Amino acid sequence: MTTPKAIYFFILIIILGTVSCNNQKDHPSENDTFLNQIDSLYDSVERLKEKKLIDMALSKNNTALQLAKSKNVPEIYQNLLRQRIVLLGRKRPLDSTFHYSDILLNDYTRAKDTANIAYIKYLKGFYFKKDNQIDSAIGNYYQAVQLYKHLNDSLNVAKRSLDLVKILNDKANYQVAEKTAIDGLKYLNKKTANKLYINLKNHLAIISKNKGQYKEALYWYNRALSIAKDSLSVISIKNNMAVVYLKQEHFTKAFNTLSSIVYDTLLRNPKNITLNARVIDNWAFAKSKLGHIDAEKYLLEALELRKQKNVPENLNASYIHLAEHYADKNNRMAFKMAQKAYETAKTYQNVDDQLLALSMIIATSETPRQYALKYHRLSDSLHKAREQANISYAKIIYDTERNRNENALLKSNAQLNALEISKVKTRNIALGLILIIVIGAVIWRYHLIKNKHQREKELATYETERLISKRVHDEVANDVFHTLTSLQNEPKVSPVLEQLENQLDKLYHKTRDISKEYGDIDTGTNFAVGLKDMLASYHSEHANVIIRNIDTIPWRRLNHSKKVAIYRCVQELMVNMKKHSQATLVALMFESDPNLLTVKYSDNGIGLDPSITSRAGGLKNVENRIEAANGTVTFANSPTQGLVIIIEIPI
């Protein structure tokens, strides 16, 4: 909300507060109506999204955004923006998704909302990956992980680590992927986050498999299998273990493992079609390697299932298996399937899969030379790209094996060092306590002396003001009064004498006002009454002064110095208003909580000159007094109209 609007709303709320309270008993508030409208629009958008009517959903969302913007409710506007980002993520291109993500990220950054910054970083990583901007995706995922670590949000650290592991593994950045997965596991309890825990172990196995470390992969799969609770997780892990057996050319072992799950009724559920196709495809491939005559039938069945989802990565796997199946039988279909595998691999830009497909094409083509040249060029580019990737990620890569060895060494030395560590710990605790006591005593003494000097300074200032006020009254005002009386008793023989009499009368009243402004302040039980009377004295036909909640403040909890500071500061503000602001409406709101007193001053005057960055005169006095009372004062102004000042003093 801009400053001018804040001023108008603040004053309007004060004036109309009582009327609103009475009316809301009989009629639903405008705020309730607004929230109901937003809820209805939000739910409508979600229903349209489920029906995949994205353009209609975007239109409804835009209506909700405009409504939220008109009411200036940032939290609701931000939630609607998040909804819009997800909707735009269903369309192509994704430029608008990134645009609104950046808007939301800037809002959260300004608000220092770390949790939502982390969420938007994750969201950007997700859509960068979808848009095949892999480096940007990795950067945003990594930042999300670090932010969630800062928040001690263990579950989200693990979730976002898994996202990072998947994309690093796809980029063959296995060292960083492995380290990230192990780090993510440290943040999880395998009982309370079973599926996520299994997923990370599963990906550790995939990483090891991709590195050709098949024993290591089976180790991680067995670890995941030992804690898997639901049947689908068990099926998925066993399928992955069978893939490792196929890599090892243990075809009978792969076939037996897959035979134990391929007929599971859970796989017949349409929701599990992707997993079902994967199991059938691997099972059929094992059958092919074992020479089963029905292998082709099931390989084609898996391909048809995958065509229903039309995911290029999965189609590629079927084409590769079919190409190898036909190649083993010297069937010309092998070349055709290898070509399809190559074309699908190009659509999702996976160089490893392209190279595998090219190797099959070379093995089955009658003219392999052109494909061999392609293979050579692609292999060289892949090698250079991975070297560059390793350089790009150097800041987050370190040797996983070295960490394992260091941890093992620490564990083996733990018992030998336990006694020494205990002694050092006890000594450090003792020294720490002594140091804390000494530092505490020094700080206490420093604050004691500082507060004493501060109180003496405040008392001296107050006494000086009081003495000046007394002298102005007793000497200057009385002398002016006597001179004025003498002059009034003289005959008015000249207009100059009459003018002089008027000027002396004004001077007398000014000296009385100065004496009153800086005279004694009753800081006892009648402080609130005196403060209210002083403020009310500035009410005139030109300026309407509104005072709220002054009697609700626990004034007895404020010491003498702070009461004087509050009194003088609001007095300075009223004097400043009368002299300079040209305001016709002034509002003072007093609020308190157990530890803080807040005075909110606002007017509809000309405001402060934006070209002047430092305070002077009365406003500078306000700053000095509040600072001396360990409080804060905030000035908010607008180039057009109005001034808001917020004073806060600890109780």
Residue 359 lies in a domain: no
- Residue 368's nearest CA partner among 347, 339, 341, 345 is 339
H or E stretch at 491: none
5 versus 444: the higher-pLDDT residue is 444
Both tokens of 522, joined, read 């009753």
| Rounded-to-integer distance, Cα 531 and Cα 521, Å | 9
Burial label for 577, CB within 10 Å (0-12, 13-18, 19+), is buried
β partners of residue 569: none
Q: Which of 130, 31, 12 is nearest to 76 (CA)?
A: 31
Does residue 188 lie in a domain region? no
CA–CA distance, 245 with 339 (Å, rounded to integer) = 26
Domain check: are 437 and 482 in the same one? Answer: yes
Say whether both 503 and 550 belong to one domain: no
pLDDT, tens only, 278-309: 999 999 999 999 999 999 999 999 999 999 99
Q: Does residue 8 register a pLDDT over 60? A: no
In the chain, the percentage of residues whose pLDDT exceeds 90 is 49
| Residues 583, 548 share a domain | yes
532 in the same domain as 509:
no
Specify if 10 maps to a domain: no
Spatial CB neighbours of 455, under 8 Å, sequence gap ≥ 6: 561
Domain boundary (468, 495, 514) is at 514
* Range scoring the smallest mean pLDDT among 24-38, 117-131, 395-409: 395-409
Separation between Cα atoms, residue 345 and residue 339, nearest integer Å = 10
pLDDT greater at residue 293 or residue 452: 293
458 & 546 share domain: no
Report the range of poorest mean pLDDT among 177-186, 403-412, 500-509. Answer: 403-412
3 pLDDT more than 50: no
| pLDDT above 90: residue 588 | yes
| Segment 550-565, tens digit of pLDDT | 999 999 999 888 999 9
For residue 349, the model assigns a pLDDT of 81
Helical spans, DSSP H, in 151-189:
154-170, 174-185
Looking up tokens 């609104």 gives 100
Residue 601's CATH number = 3.30.565.10
Least confident of 238-247, 317-326, 500-509, 600-609: 500-509
Note whether 342 and 361 are within 8 A (CB). Answer: yes
Torsion sign across C-alpha atoms 505, 510, 513, 518: negative
Report the C-alpha gap between 45 and 64 in whole angstroms: 10
Count, residues in the chain: 651
Q: Would 334 be classed as within a structural domain?
A: no
Let me know whether 529 and 505 are in one domain. no
Tell me which range, 404-413, 464-473, 618-627, is most confidently predicted by mean pLDDT. 618-627
Query: Is 444 part of any domain?
Result: yes
Taking each helix axis from N to C terminus, what angle separates 74-88 and 54-71, rounded to the nearest 10 degrees? 160
Tell me, yes or no, whether 509 and 572 share the same domain.
no
- Cis-peptide, bond into residue 93, ω within 30° of zero: yes
Report CA-CA distances (Å) from 526 to 26, 556, 563, 600, 625: 39, 10, 12, 22, 22
Q: Which domain, by its residues, includes 643?
A: 525-650
Per the DSSP assignment, residues forming a β-bridge with 647 are 599, 633
Q: Do 531 and 643 belong to one domain? A: yes
> In 51-161, at which residue ranges do the beta strands (DSSP E only) sit?
none
pLDDT: which is higher, 476 or 333? 333
CA distance 510 to 385: 84
Any idea which of 172-186, 374-388, 521-535, 581-595 has the lowest mean pLDDT? 374-388
Asked whether residue 544 falls in the same domain as residue 456, the answer is no
In a 3-state reduction of DSSP, which class is residue 587? Answer: strand
What is the per-residue pLDDT for 516? 57
| Burial 397-415, CB ≥16 within 10 A → b, else e | beebeeeeeeeeeeeeeee
Q: Is the sign of the CA dihedral 163, 165, 171, 173 positive or negative?
A: positive
pLDDT at 7 over 50: no
Strand partners, 644: 602, 636
Name the domain boundary from 464, 494, 514: 514
531 and 465 in a common domain:
no
Q: Which of 460, 481, 514 is the last residue of a domain?
A: 514
Residue 589, phi then psi, degrees to nearest 5: -115, 125
In a domain, 438, yes or no: yes
Same domain flag for 571 and 638: yes
Residue 591's DSSP bridge partners are 598
Q: What is the pLDDT of residues 611-640, one digit of tens each?
A: 776 676 778 888 988 988 889 999 887 666
As for how many domains the chain has, the answer is 2
Q: Are residues 459 and 572 in the same domain?
A: no
* DSSP track, 399-445: -HHHHHHHHHHHHHHHHHHHHHHHHHHHHHHHHHHHHHHHHHHHHHH
d(CA 569, CA 199): 63
| Residue linked to tokens 């990906």 | 203
pTM (two decimals):
0.53
Q: Which of 94-98, 420-424, 481-485, 535-539 has the lowest mean pLDDT?
A: 481-485
Q: Is residue 3 part of a domain?
A: no
Q: Is residue 603 part of a domain?
A: yes
